Amino acid sequence: MSGASSEGGGRRRGPSVAELVERARAGEARAVARLISLVEDASPKLREVMAGLAPHSGNAQIVGITGAPGVGKSTSTSALVKALRATGKRVGVLAVDPSSPFSGGALLGDRVRMQDHALDAQVYIRSMASRGHLGGLSWATPQALRVLDAAGCDVVLIETVGVGQSEVEVARLADTTVVLLAPGMGDAIQAAKAGILEIGDVYVVNKADRDGADGVRRDLRNMLALADRADGSWQPPIVQTVAQTGQGVDEVVAKIEAHRTWMESSGELDRRRARRARDEIEAIAVTALRERWGDVHARTELDDLAAQVVEGSSDPYHAADQLLEAFTE
């Protein structure tokens, strides 16, 4: 098969989902882009895409990159791509940070061109619109990660702005979470307050050539030492970098790899992935139920129940029981 296939009768069609999956696995960027678009647009083919990807999942290490605006997240992501490429890895980047130069592409179109990596066929960069101005992740993020995973990426970096609950969401999606800090950009104590000291597997103090970097590192080390960790558990390392020059970035890559090795041997990788799959299944099931309730038939039932609640002959809890009874068979 090559080019657009034409199935059935006279009408010409685009490539089938199976074909797209094959091409994506062979490293064809256009097929990857197409699959992510199908997922992101919640196209009727969404289920077919997900079923087609399933057998090819589970190779990629999903690495979340998070930190407050200004810590040098985009520069660090770019430097990490370069360092990962130098070790021969195929790399995917999913940018969901609205302030990131990568994610400008969410407005411009499919694929973001990133100067250093635009011509490298082993790097696939994709931006996604965030869900809203609160900076949360798009519902399609896990699905897009599956596309990049099935497409043969060894590592997928997911970059998000460190605002609100998106760091926590990223940590739940990732195998390994890298938390970035920088001197003067909200210090380690601020980070502790924001709760990000609980989610990092690797800590990076970027802009290590600036005043205050050692102080941030020291504060961070002291705070991490307070955490009560079981024997044999992972001790999150702290790496100092200057992302702009690449200094220290190889060490970050080494720590990310060490974390994967530890996760595999300790069983933590399986646990994290199982939890992720549960989250994903639950979220899809809830969405499916809401859609059912939105159907014409169910809508009538829900309207009737709502009318009873409004007039006071029923209460919302009783009505919810009846809704579940009526529409979950």
- Applying CB under 8 A, the residues found at the interface with its own copies are 46-47, 50-51, 53-58, 132-134, 142-143, 164-165, 270, 273-275, 277-278, 280-282, 284-286, 288-290, 293, 302-303, 305-307, 309-321, 323-324, 328-329
Nearer to its own copies, 79 or 196 (CB): 196
For residue 107, the minimal CB distance to its own copies (Å) is 16
Nearer to its own copies, 43 or 87 (CB): 43
Nearer to its own copies, 43 or 245 (CB): 43
3-state helix, strand, coil in the chain (%, to 5): 50, 10, 40
Residues near 218 by Cβ (< 8 Å), separated by ≥ 6? Answer: none
For residue 79, the minimal CB distance to its own copies (Å) is 31
Number of CB atoms found within 10 A of residue 184's CB: 13
Nearer to its own copies, 29 or 168 (CB): 168
Instruction: Give whole-number Cα distances, 255 to 110, 138, 156, 176, 207, in Å.
Output: 32, 28, 15, 10, 18
**Of all helices (H) and strands (E), which one includes residue 264?**
helix 249-266
For residue 292, the minimal CB distance to its own copies (Å) is 9
**Of all helices (H) and strands (E), which one includes residue 66?**
strand 61-66
For residue 263, the minimal CB distance to its own copies (Å) is 13
Nearer to its own copies, 29 or 298 (CB): 298
Nearer to its own copies, 53 or 123 (CB): 53
**Of all helices (H) and strands (E), which one includes residue 63?**
strand 61-66
For residue 328, the minimal CB distance to its own copies (Å) is 3
Alpha-carbon distance of 16 to 14, in angstroms, equals: 6
Alpha-carbon distance of 142 to 175, in angstroms, equals: 12
For residue 114, the minimal CB distance to its own copies (Å) is 29
Nearer to its own copies, 244 or 308 (CB): 308
Angle at 72 between CA 194 and CA 105, to 5 degrees: 100
Residues near 30 by Cβ (< 8 Å), separated by ≥ 6? Answer: 23
Nearer to its own copies, 184 or 316 (CB): 316
For residue 260, the minimal CB distance to its own copies (Å) is 16
For residue 234, the minimal CB distance to its own copies (Å) is 20
Residues near 11 by Cβ (< 8 Å), separated by ≥ 6? Answer: none
Instruction: Give whole-number Cα distances, 193 to 67, 162, 196, 198, in Å.
Output: 13, 13, 8, 10
In the block, residue with structure tokens 């989250």: 279
